[in-house]
Amino acid sequence: MLKGNLFSPVSPAPEEFTEILASGNSDTFRIERIVSQGHVSPPGFWYDQDESEFAAVLQGSAELEFSDGKISMSSGDWVIIPEHERHRVTYTSINPPCVWLAVFWK
């Protein structure tokens, strides 16, 4: 058995904190906890993933940009991003930190 706390604090760092909570055989899926404290995508960088993603904001707030516009997210909001849907993170809260729960699958 494994256990943890999704709201365990992390020290502020130059990079966002990512923790794999579970994963499947052959990387068919994975569940991550991500803690962002003002972290955003670098200028001009777009995610273009080979897998679909369910992303939920558990604490704090964030803003995602897609080719057709931006969405604001706060605690409880979630989005499903299909594979190869280009997107980027343009804002994450610092206090409280933005805590994400992300599920990736192929």
User: In angstroms, rounded to a whole number, what is the distance separating the alpha carbons of residues 25 and 3?
Assistant: 20
> What CATH number is given to the structural domain containing 90?
2.60.120.10
Within a domain: 64: yes
Domain count, the chain: 1
What is the average pLDDT across 14-39?
A: 94
Q: Where are the beta strands (DSSP E) in the chain?
A: 17-23, 29-36, 52-59, 61-66, 69-74, 78-81, 87-92, 98-105
Within a domain: 1: no
Mean pLDDT of the chain: 96
Within a domain: 90: yes
Within a domain: 45: yes
Buried b (16+ CB within 10 A) or exposed e, 77-100: eebebeeebebbbebbbeeebbbb
> pLDDT tens across 31-79, in order?
999 999 999 999 999 999 999 999 999 999 999 999 999 999 999 999 9
pLDDT level of residue 27 (50, 70, 90 thresholds): confident
